[in-house]
Amino acid sequence: MNRTVNGVVAALLLGATTAAGAVAGEGGQPGDAQQVSRTIEIVMHDNYFEPEQLSFAAGETVRLKVRNEGALVHEFNIGTAAMHEAHQGQMQMMVEHGVIQGDHLNHERMKMDMGGGHTMEHNHANSLLLEPGQEAELVWTFASADSLEFACNVPGHYQAGMVGGIHVE
C-alpha cells in the first residue's frame, strides 16, 4: 500500500514539476549570465511583491535578485496562470509532507524519496523558494508572451494576491 501511495504522489509531483518547469520556451528560458542587460531587485513581503509589475523587451536577459523580507516562506515563480495553478498542487504536497513549515523549510524532508527517484526538492529554473531573510537570483531570457506573471504558489499566497504581472514587448 505504501509503495502505491508513494507512486501516486510521485506521479502527481512529476506532473506538477513539469507544469512548473514548462515555462521554458513558452515565456522564456534560463538566460546566460554574460548576456544580462540589467538587474532587477524584487522584494517578497507577506503576500505581496515589490515591484508588483515587471516589463521586458522580447529576448532581453535579466538578473532577477529576489529577497524574502516576509515572516513566512515564499516562492518567486515565473509562469502563466495555468502553470501556477498546476504548480500549486506540488506546493500543497510540500506543506502536507512537512517540507514547508510556515517560516522555514525542512531541508531533510525535501530529499525524501517519493518513489521513482523523485524528491520534493524545489529546483525549477524559473523559480526560487526562500525562507525569511534569504535572497537568491535567477537569470532569465524573456520571449514574447503577454500572459506571464510572477507569483508565490505557497498554499493560499497566490489567492491572497501574491502575484504580479509581466509585460513583454
Instruction: Please state, in angstroms and rounded to a whole number, the distance separating the CA atoms of residues 34 and 159.
Output: 36
Q: Return the higher-pLDDT residue of 123 and 152.
A: 152
Residue 8 in this model has a pLDDT that exceeds 50: no
**Mean pLDDT (whole number) for 40-69:** 97
Class of 2-168 per CATH? mainly beta
**What is the CA angle 142-22-132, rounded to 5?**
75
Interstrand relation of 48-50 and 74-80 (parallel, antiparallel or unpaired): unpaired
Listed residue (1, 139, 119) closest to 78, CA to CA:
139
Q: Which residues pair with 164 in a beta bridge?
A: 150
Mean pLDDT, the chain, integer = 86
**What is the CA angle 24-9-22, rounded to 5?**
5
Q: Lowest-confidence range among 14-23, 68-77, 104-113?
A: 14-23
Banded pLDDT at 11 (limits 50, 70, 90): very low
**Mean pLDDT (whole number) for 5-12:** 37
Listed residue (105, 137, 135) closest to 122, CA to CA:
105
Banded pLDDT at 147 (limits 50, 70, 90): confident
Query: For the chain, which residues make up each domain, given as ranges?
Result: 2-168
Over residues 80-102, the pLDDT tens digits come to 999 999 999 999 999 999 999 99
Overall residue count recorded for the chain in this entry: 169
Residue 105 in this model has a pLDDT that exceeds 80: yes
Instruction: Please state, in angstroms and rounded to a whole number, the distance separating the CA atoms of residues 165 and 52.
Output: 7
Going through the chain in order, the beta strands assigned E by DSSP cover 28-30, 38-45, 48-50, 53-56, 61-68, 74-80, 127-130, 135-142, 148-151, 163-168
